[in-house]
Amino acid sequence: MARVFSGVQPTGNLHLGNYLGAIRNFTRLQDDNECLYCVVDMHAVTVWQDPKVLKNNTREVTAAFLASGIDPKTHIVFNQSGVPQHAEIAWIFNCVARVGWLNRMTQFKEKAGKHRENASVGLYVYPNLMAADILAYKATHVPVGEDQKQHLELARDIAQKFNNDFGVEQFPIVEPLILDSAARVMSLRDGRKKMSKSGASDYSRLNLNDDADTIALKIRKARTDSEPVPDGSPESGDRVSRPEAFNLLEIYAALADQPISQIQNEFGGQQFSQFKEALVNLAVEKLGPIGAEMQRFGVDPKYIDSVLFDGVERARSIAEPIRDEVHEIMGFLRG
């Protein structure tokens, strides 16, 4: 039985990419593994968050976990700031990771943009905290979307350097679990951009709490080209030449849990208007119940808070002795 860890930031607008790239896979790992799923509020504040909104967003991500089928009794669902060992180990990793390693992180470059000098220091060392999240539990398996691959490689480098520097076998080498299908869901408005919480237009994403009418409207309005649905033949194009068309096919395939080739066999050659109606039905069937459950949890914040509180206690009891081992290795005196 492996220990699985993953995190999602409470930064609002949870969308189909978060679900297909990450949260749905979290649920599928529950049978054979010991899982910790974390709402990473300390990662969220690397960019400005309104405190009241942050609280609500933390509850919303928790609700999405539960609505998607994560069982908080068998597994651990908690918020990061409740377990101080994440920050403690992150500090040590700030002293292990090299400036050159962080300089290569593409997400920092994207998020800091032109205002690099003005970005928070937290945003820069964000991947070190992410490594600490995972290694505070010696977790080995980490389900994420494709955009987190580089951060997981950094977590491996940190674990390896720590082990080498101190001549120990303290930290395991992390395995990314990035599924091929839907590891990178693209915007409904621009097939070259990732679907993201911060995409300016709400029409660029399907939010997990969208109702059926909104899902239908967004899919009907999704950008496509003027060609029919690609049927798999070379003449019908590829992901590069027809990014929007393939994005919709990939979304369908992921929601239906079938290979994309099968979807192409079924719909290839049809008009997109027809295919979109099938996608509307499938998306409403799969996402509708999740949105409804999220709403149900939304009116019961006390229950959500009790889940997090319980998760924090259980997470701490794993992370504390691991932090103690790290302190011993480092030569920190214990009072």
Is residue 130 involved in binding ligand AMP (CB under 6 A)? no
| Residue number with CB closer to ligand TRP (104 or 296) | 104
Assess whether 114 carries a catalytic annotation: no
Site pattern 145..184 for ligand AMP (x: CB under 6 A) = x-xx----------------------------------xx
| Residue number with CB closer to ligand TRP (128 or 264) | 128
Sheet hosting strand 76-79, strand order edge to edge: 76-79, 33-39, 2-8, 141-143, 175-177
Assess whether 197 carries a catalytic annotation: yes
Burial class (CB in 10 A: 0-12, 13-18, 19+), 213: exposed
Q: Computed over its alpha carbons, how large is the radius of gyration of the chain? A: 21
Is residue 7 involved in binding ligand TRP (CB under 6 A)? yes
Give the integer Cα–Cα distance in Å for 195 and 161: 34
DSSP for 141-207 reads EEE--GGGHHHHHHHHHHHHHHHHHHT---SPPPEEE--STTSSPBPSS-TTSB--TT-S-GGGS-B
Give the integer Cα–Cα distance in Å for 309 and 140: 24
Is residue 224 involved in binding ligand TRP (CB under 6 A)? no
Is residue 62 involved in binding ligand TRP (CB under 6 A)? no
Give the integer Cα–Cα distance in Å for 127 and 242: 33
Residue 142 binds which entry of ligand AMP, ligand TRP, none, CB below 5-8 Å type-dependent: ligand TRP
Catalytic-role residue among 55, 138, 161, 197: 197
Is residue 206 involved in binding ligand TRP (CB under 6 A)? no
Which of 9, 57, 58, 85 touches ligand TRP by CB under 6 A?
A: 9
As measured in angstroms, the least distance from the Cβ of 114 to ligand TRP is 21
Which of 17, 72, 199, 291 touches ligand AMP by CB under 6 A?
A: 17
CA distances from 322 to 141, 206, 298 (A): 17, 39, 35
Give the integer Cα–Cα distance in Å for 110 and 100: 17
Residue 85 binds which entry of ligand TRP, ligand AMP, none, CB below 5-8 Å type-dependent: none
Is residue 239 involved in binding ligand AMP (CB under 6 A)? no
| Residue number with CB closer to ligand TRP (96 or 215) | 96
| Main-chain dihedrals φ then ψ at residue 34, nearest 5 degrees | -100, 115
Is residue 41 involved in binding ligand TRP (CB under 6 A)? no
| Main-chain dihedrals φ then ψ at residue 166, nearest 5 degrees | -105, 0
As measured in angstroms, the least distance from the Cβ of 41 to ligand AMP is 11
Choose one: 2-10, 45-53, 114-122, 239-247; the region binding ligand TRP (CB under 6 A): 2-10
Which of positions 133-162 make contact with ligand TRP (CB under 6 A)?
Answer: 133-134, 142, 144, 148, 151
Residue 18 binds which entry of ligand AMP, ligand TRP, none, CB below 5-8 Å type-dependent: ligand AMP
| Residue number with CB closer to ligand AMP (206 or 245) | 206
| Residue number with CB closer to ligand AMP (76 or 195) | 195
Give the integer Cα–Cα distance in Å for 186 and 192: 7
Is residue 96 involved in binding ligand AMP (CB under 6 A)? no
Q: Give the residue from 98, 81, 62 showing the smallest Cα distance to 304.
A: 62
Q: Which residues pair with 3 in a beta bridge?
A: 34
Q: Which residue has the tokens 């009907």?
A: 220
Q: Which residues bind ligand TRP (CB under 6 A)?
A: 5-7, 9, 40, 43, 130, 133-134, 142, 144, 148, 151
Catalytic residue numbers read: 111, 194, 197
